[in-house]
Amino acid sequence: MNKLLIVGTVAFDAIETPFGKTDKILGGAATYIGLASNFFNVDAAVVSVVGEDFPKEYLDLLESKGVNIEGIEIVKGGKTFFWSGKYHNDLNSRDTLVTELNVLADFNPVVPQAYKNSDVVLLGNLHPIVQSGVLNQMTEQPKLVVLDTMNFWMDCALPELLDVIKRVDVITINDEEARQLSGEYSLVKAAAKIHTMGPKYVVIKKGEHGALLFHKNEVFFAPALPLEEVFDPTGAGDTFAGGFAGYIAQSENISFDNLKNAIIYGSNLASFCVEKFGTERMENLDKKEVNVRLKQFKALTQFEIELEE
């Protein structure tokens, strides 16, 4: 079984959407990625940090989904990273209400010995120095390294970000971030420029408008599934990345054709994530539902035009 190493936050979230609000609930990029990895035949491990206030039941949940949690440090007397946000009416944008870094402020990731030779590494959105620090601990070059990041690091830690971008195979960012990072408005040109920074593959996430996968001169598009109800977008991008990396780790195939399938899988899982608050839908999702929706993705996108010569 191939190993998938996941680095990212395990956290408390408090979320407000037009449809309701939650108290502190389970959140964090690595949590969503870990839950997504459960749908693949992979040996997944999370490297993260939490405080002593973090409920054991949340860690048990990750373990019950087959995620190795040896690399989640529990800081004695520490408080867990907390994020609170409020979504606007169209759910496409949100305001951050509270960010308490807490134990994340001094996070020094330690990769468990058994995962230093992981096949696929997914560097969730964190300070680029933390992301580089994980790569430095690998004893073998992973077959694929996927980096998720955001505009915050472009603003505050660009040199460090560019350093880690050089070292990865895939970068996943949203359309605005791709434009900021490249200085190009056209996403085709932006992807081409980001290729020259290091990543062979550029994944541009467009939320409800789907995701683009660029590789050299090739491009592939995975739409978001049109849904009757979108309840809470929190974690959708992480779930997408988790589905993407999990599929690749399972199949051990990093061809462009297989990466196409991987972004379809990522979009598929993300389409469930948004249907309930927080991690609720992902906790109770089963593989049959995923397969039904995969057929819907096929119906949504596949067509048969005969090309005239």
Contacts with a second copy by CB under 8 A lie at 90, 185-189, 206, 209-210, 212, 218-221, 223, 226-230, 257, 260-261, 264-265, 287, 291, 294-295, 298-305, 307-309
> What number of other Cβ atoms are within 10 A of residue 239's Cβ?
28
- Classify 20 as helix, strand or coil: strand
Please, what is the minimum distance in Å from the beta carbon of residue 39 to a second copy?
11
Q: Tell me, what DSSP letter sits at residue 73?
A: E
Please, what is the minimum distance in Å from the beta carbon of residue 92 to a second copy?
11
Q: How far is CA 286 from CA 68, 139, 188, 224, 282, in A?
A: 20, 35, 36, 20, 9
Residue with Cβ nearer a second copy (65 or 189): 189
Please, what is the minimum distance in Å from the beta carbon of residue 225 to a second copy?
9
Please, what is the minimum distance in Å from the beta carbon of residue 51 to a second copy?
38
Residue with Cβ nearer a second copy (57 or 90): 90
Q: What's the rounded Cα separation, in Å, for the pair 214 and 202?
A: 5
Torsion of CA 177, 180, 181, 186, to 10 degrees: 90
Residue with Cβ nearer a second copy (122 or 212): 212
- Classify 225 as helix, strand or coil: coil
Please, what is the minimum distance in Å from the beta carbon of residue 229 to a second copy?
6
Residue with Cβ nearer a second copy (13 or 177): 177
Residue with Cβ nearer a second copy (139 or 301): 301
Q: How far is CA 96 from CA 54, 99, 141, in A?
A: 22, 7, 37
